[in-house]
Amino acid sequence: MKQLYILFVILIANSFVGQAQQKDRTRLSDTLKNYSAYKRKLTFAGVLQTRYVLSLDKDVDINGKNFDPATSKAISNTFLIKRARVMVKGDINDHFSANILANLAEFNTDPTNKVLENAYIKYSLSEYFHIQAGQFRPFFGIEDAMAVDIIRTLDFSNQYYAFGKNGWQSFQTGISVLGNVVSGGKIRYFAGAYNGNNKNQSSDDNNTKNLYGRLEADFLKDFTIGINAGSGSMASSSIGQAYGADATAKIPLARKFDLLLMAEFKTGANFLSYNADKQLLRPDISEYQMHGFYFFPTLRYNHESRRLRAVEFSCRYEYFDENYKLASNPRQTLIPNVSLIFADDFYAAVQVGVAIDQFKNQLPLTTTYNHSLGYVQLQIRF
């Protein structure tokens, strides 16, 4: 009797095992019929960037503004929080995702139209076609294509901020398509339409939408060239255009040394200057033009110890003129910088450097004045 009981138990167990195995084989071979939660996940990331800055010139404050010490008092050094960004990405399934990026450091000043940066929904069909709608950075140059939380020196270029204020780049609200032109990503395209009146606005400020396009190509290993073109307006301005070209390269020099090169040129309409001109007969928008270029070489030593991963020595040179046809006053900027990187991909870095600005024509008691700013910066990604 005992033997029959044991045999019965074994048969029952084998039956359950067989059913489980059959179920597993069926699950693996069947086609997935509901993609609602396929690859669903929620991820958090961010960057915290703190600084100590010191004006190195007499009678110039930390913002580069010249002041009269007899009549005013200015701040020549301070600790500050530049960025405290928090990013949330929700993958609904393998095609749909939502992205939100907020910079909490903007609450240190007037946060109106500042705090929310990215807020868009993205649909990914294949490597050849992605579409996103909401608030994002149009891909109009190297600095838009790079991760928003990786700052290799003191800050982005002067032309990036000027073109951003004029609605050509930085955070804008609209729709964009992007993807690979050929399999493998050797050639990539970006195109879109957006309001062009900058971030966190309730609606557009006119009925004209800004249009842009970008094409990138990898001609050699670690060598990329990009070209940009755009058309748009801001508020009551006429329609203007913008163009640009850029290149990046990575050149191995020795076993632990790499040379990183970045260069970019852009020219475009300055809508802010056009709208600010109150002449009854003002020139055409084509006369209100800004242009500039920068060259950004970085020598990287890959130390690769357990704590210190790399050291970067860089010196960005930039030439920028905000209104070169009607009121030319070129600004030249030189930023020598040393970065100590304690975690791969800039997850922990300390940077030390000097930002030197020189104008062709100085204007006393304004920020259009020669100045130098020393800084020590700590940035952490998470």
Say what the pLDDT of residue 9 is. 38
Q: Give the Å distances, CA to CA, from 152 to 61, 66, 262, 336, 353.
A: 24, 28, 11, 11, 11
Residue 283 counted as domain residue? yes
- Average pLDDT over every residue of 5-32: 45
Distance, CA of 276 to CA of 183 (rounded, Å): 47
Number of domains the chain contains: 1
- Average pLDDT over every residue of 155-172: 95
pLDDT tens-digit profile of 144-162?
877 777 888 899 999 999 9
pLDDT tens-digit profile of 352-376?
999 999 999 999 999 999 999 999 9
Q: Give the Å distances, CA to CA, from 303 to 3, 259, 307, 310.
A: 69, 14, 9, 5
Residue 118 counted as domain residue? yes
Give the ranges where the chain is alpha helix by DSSP (H).
2-29, 142-145, 158-165, 271-276
pLDDT tens-digit profile of 321-352?
999 999 999 999 999 999 999 999 999 999 99
Say what the pLDDT of residue 342 is. 97
Q: How much is the mean pLDDT over the chain?
A: 90
Contacts 24+ apart (CB under 8 A), 190-194: 190/138, 190/139, 190/214, 190/215, 190/216, 192/138, 194/138
Residue 23 counted as domain residue? no
Phi and psi based region of residue 296 (left: phi greater than 0; alpha: psi -120 to 50; beta: remaining): beta
Residue 17 counted as domain residue? no
Name the range with the highest mean pLDDT among 3-17, 29-43, 227-241: 227-241
Number of other CB atoms surrounding residue 94 within 10 Å: 11
Instruction: Give the total residue count for the chain.
Output: 382
- 243: β partners: 229, 267
Say what the pLDDT of residue 266 is. 97
* Res 10 pLDDT > 60: no
Distance, CA of 117 to CA of 101 (rounded, Å): 5
Residue 267 counted as domain residue? yes
What CATH number is associated with residue 255?
2.40.160.10
Residue 25 counted as domain residue? no
- Under the banding of pLDDT at 50, 70 and 90, the label for residue 18 is very low
Residue 98 counted as domain residue? yes
Residues of the chain above pLDDT 90, percent: 80
Say what the pLDDT of residue 280 is. 86
The Cβ-side half-sphere exposure at 57, using a 13 Å CA radius, reads 21
Say what the pLDDT of residue 30 is. 56
Residue 33 counted as domain residue? no
Question: Which amino acid is residue 131, in one-letter code?
Answer: I
- Average pLDDT over every residue of 61-86: 93
Range of the domain at 127: 39-381
Q: Give the Å distances, CA to CA, from 77 to 53, 74, 240.
A: 6, 9, 40
What's the pTM?
0.88
- Average pLDDT over every residue of 114-120: 94
Say what the pLDDT of residue 148 is. 73
